[in-house]
């Protein structure tokens, strides 16, 4: 895929991909969906049709699960005559992942352009996502032969030890907002532990998921170890979530769909990791270093046009500095520019017309709030694109709809508080618990807050810690359960067997 941007910032594009975008990747081969159905993929920056992708269904999912099952069979040979994935040692798995990471890095511009075009995210952010994907593969490649069981002291005459083993076939259902990063943290960890994966990317954006399959093929990942079946959630996603041949499910997406997936997984009694939404707060005390905090306060809200599970959509500010923080944030908001993804403004469009409508329906309910500042949609933003100018609101009611629900758009509310106790109550006062951050110079308060905040990750005097491939990530409450990223993901994508040998 190559772009030219003329003096009017009009983007012309040519697609040069080493596979057919309308195909699934099953058993190491690119192939059309069995029923031959396709979906049109649209460019969020201008609304035009980018290409067709396969509309996989239960037949394709079945073929993918069968291929994954076969790949785990240690005894056989894969089609090309090589060994099957199930017979690879931890060291060998790590080496394949390492090669995949190197190929990701070699393809950085292609992957970034694909992600920017497909998701509508500014090119700079898309490049950062490719770097993160490569980093996940690098991290897990190195970890592959460092995960092990234990020996346990037991009765006289026994030797007892534990084995960490793959679940078997793992299903991965992912959203459109960060396909590469989510593939890195979930498929990367699952492959490391020796699982064979079936990935169902989102129907709104899946080109980098397809390119990832091609990279895996080129890196020598054996047939069936990774299968990618694009399609709608209701058809392909649901078929994967309820398939009896799947031994573990990893779902990243909305709460509503997460609940369905959990019920489907329960039908087959398989474990499920749910990475769902958030309404994550940043809490700013009067002793915070504001110059350091300000970029984090704004960027964590508008990154990827607010379509980030860990977006910081609530800013809680101590009353004595409330006006100062609000004014400083407002200044930053007025400077924000929204435009085509490839032209690399601060924000790109939202993923779809539907998502734009959804976000605007929240704007229509902003009555008790005060709109403090908005960003600007640039003139060259195409009328067919899904552009929304970011909005900053002052909010005196922490129970307001816009302060409670995940909007998944570029919107932040700034809420005042008086005391530490009140800050904790407001921060913990939603149904979510994904990420939180505290800005204060007071060390004792940092420790108290970190303990009492209801969240899967707490950051002190920062937000996000630069992505943190190494840092376990996941939520509490409606933000989900289970952890991905870091070593913790390797435990999640494996199961423990206890062996007790009586030898006298």
Q: Does 260 bind ligand NAD (CB under 6 A)?
A: yes
Number of residues that bind ligand NAD (CB under 6 A): 30
Q: Does 316 bind ligand NAD (CB under 6 A)?
A: no
| 7 catalytically annotated | no
Q: Does 28 bind ligand NAD (CB under 6 A)?
A: no
Name the DSSP class of 473. B
Q: From the list 30, 139, 176, 212, which residue makes contact with ligand NAD (rule: CB under 6 A)?
A: 176
Residues of this chain, 400-439, that bind ligand NAD according to CB under 6 A: 406, 408, 434
Q: CB 310 → ligand NAD: shortest distance, Å?
A: 7
Q: Does 254 bind ligand NAD (CB under 6 A)?
A: yes
Q: Does 309 bind ligand NAD (CB under 6 A)?
A: yes
With CA atoms as reference, report the closest residue to 167 among 72, 55, 254: 72
Tell me whether residue 117 or residue 318 sits nearer to ligand NAD (CB atom): 117
Tell me whether residue 93 or residue 200 sits nearer to ligand NAD (CB atom): 200
Q: From the list 234, 287, 421, 431, which residue makes contact with ligand NAD (rule: CB under 6 A)?
A: 234
List Cβ neighbours of 70 (8 Å cut-off, separation of 6 or more).
27, 76, 84, 224
- Name the packing angle between helices 443-452 and 420-427 (round to 10°): 30
Tell me whether residue 125 or residue 177 sits nearer to ligand NAD (CB atom): 177
Q: From the list 237, 349, 375, 464, which residue makes contact with ligand NAD (rule: CB under 6 A)?
A: 237
The catalytically annotated residue of 113, 203, 275, 406 is 275
Stretch that binds ligand NAD, among 65-73, 156-164, 230-238, 361-369 (CB under 6 A): 230-238
Which residue's entry shows tokens 């379509």?
307
CA angle 140, 470, 139 (to 5 degrees): 20
Q: Give the N- to C-terminal CA distance of the chain in Å, as an integer.
A: 67
Q: CB 63 → ligand NAD: shortest distance, Å?
A: 18
In order of 203, 250, 326, 407, the CA distances from 174 in angstroms are 10, 8, 35, 19
| 197 catalytically annotated | no
Which residue's entry shows tokens 């060998």?
92
Please give the full DSSP string across 86-130, using - where no structure is assigned.
GG--HHHHHHHHHHHHHHHHHTHHHHHHHHHHHH---HHHHHHHH
Tell me whether residue 234 or residue 287 sits nearer to ligand NAD (CB atom): 234
Q: Does 253 bind ligand NAD (CB under 6 A)?
A: yes
Q: CB 207 → ligand NAD: shortest distance, Å?
A: 14
Residue of minimal Cβ distance to ligand NAD: 233
Tell me whether residue 309 or residue 403 sits nearer to ligand NAD (CB atom): 309
State both tokens at 30.
């690119």
Length of the chain: 504
Please give the full DSSP string across 335-357, using - where no structure is assigned.
T-EE--TTTT-SB---S-HHHHH
CA-CA distance, 420 to 402, in Å (whole number)? 23
Identify whether the C-beta of residue 458 lies closer than 8 Å to the C-beta of residue 450.
yes
State both tokens at 255.
């709460």
Tell me whether residue 95 or residue 260 sits nearer to ligand NAD (CB atom): 260
Stretch that binds ligand NAD, among 63-71, 105-113, 189-197, 250-258 (CB under 6 A): 250-258
Specify the 3-state DSSP secondary structure of 264: helix
Largest CA distance in the chain: 83
Q: CB 203 → ligand NAD: shortest distance, Å?
A: 5
With CA atoms as reference, report the closest residue to 462 among 440, 482, 431: 440
Question: Can you give the binding site for ligand NAD, defined by CB under 6 A?
Answer: 173-178, 200, 202-203, 232-234, 237-238, 241, 252-254, 257, 260-261, 275-278, 309, 406, 408, 434, 480
Residues marked active site are found at 275, 309
């Amino acid at each position: 895929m190559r772009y030219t941007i003329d003096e009017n910032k009009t983007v012309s594009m040519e697609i040069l991909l080493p596979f057919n975008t309308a195909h699934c990747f099953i058993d190491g081969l690119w192939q059309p969906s069995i029923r031959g159905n396709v979906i049109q993929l649209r460019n969020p920056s201008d609304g035009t049709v980018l290409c067709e992708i396969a509309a996989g269904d239960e037949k394709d999912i079945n073929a993918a699960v069968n291929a994954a099952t076969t790949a785990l069979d240690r005894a056989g040979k894969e089609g090309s005559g090589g060994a099957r994935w199930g017979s690879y040692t931890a060291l060998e798995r790590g080496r394949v992942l390492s090669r995949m990471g190197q190929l990701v890095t070699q393809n950085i511009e292609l992957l970034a352009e694909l992600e920017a075009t497909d998701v509508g995210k500014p090119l700079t952010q898309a490049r950062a996502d490719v770097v993160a994907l490569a980093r996940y593969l690098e991290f897990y490649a190195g970890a592959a032969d460092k995960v092990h069981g234990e020996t346990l002291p037991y009765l006289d005459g026994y030797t007892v030890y534990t084995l960490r083993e793959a679940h078997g076939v793992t299903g991965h259902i992912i959203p459109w907002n960060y396909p590469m990063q989510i593939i890195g943290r979930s498929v990367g960890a699952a492959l490391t532990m020796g699982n064979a994966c079936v990935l169902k990317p989102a129907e709104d954006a899946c080109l980098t998921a397809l390119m990832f399959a091609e990279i895996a093929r080129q890196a020598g990942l054996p047939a069936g170890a990774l299968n990618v079946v694009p399609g709608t959630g209701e058809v392909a996603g649901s078929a994967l979530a309820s398939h009896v041949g799947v031994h573990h499910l990893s779902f990243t997406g909305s709460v509503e769909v997460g609940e369905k997936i959990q019920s489907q997984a329960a039908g087959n009694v398989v474990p499920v990791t749910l990475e769902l939404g958030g309404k994550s707060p940043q809490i700013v005390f009067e002793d915070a270093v504001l110059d350091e905090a300000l970029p984090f306060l704004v960027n964590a809200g508008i990154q990827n046009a607010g379509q980030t599970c860990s977006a910081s959509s609530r800013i809680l500010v101590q009353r004595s500095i409330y006006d100062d923080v609000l004014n400083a944030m407002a200044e930053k908001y007025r400077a924000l520019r929204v435009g085509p993804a490839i032209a690399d403004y601060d924000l790109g469009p939202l993923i779809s017309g539907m998502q734009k409508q959804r976000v605007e329906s929240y704007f229509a309910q902003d009555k008790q709030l005060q709109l403090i500042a908005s960003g600007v949609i640039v003139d060259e933003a195409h009328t067919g694109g899904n552009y929304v100018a970011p909005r900053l609101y002052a909010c005196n009611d922490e129970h307001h709809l816009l302060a409670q629900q995940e909007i998944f758009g570029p919107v932040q509310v700034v809420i005042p508080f008086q005391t530490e106790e009140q800050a904790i109550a407001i921060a913990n006062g939603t149904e979510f618990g994904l990420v939180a951050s505290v800005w204060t110079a007071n060390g004792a308060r940092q420790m108290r807050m970190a303990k009492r905040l209801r969240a899967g990750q707490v950051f002190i005097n920062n937000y996000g810690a630069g992505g943190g491939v190494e840092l376990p990530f996941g939520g509490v409450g409606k933000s989900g359960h289970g952890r991905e990223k870091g070593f913790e993901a390797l435990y999640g994508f494996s199961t423990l067997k206890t062996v007790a040998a009586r030898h006298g």
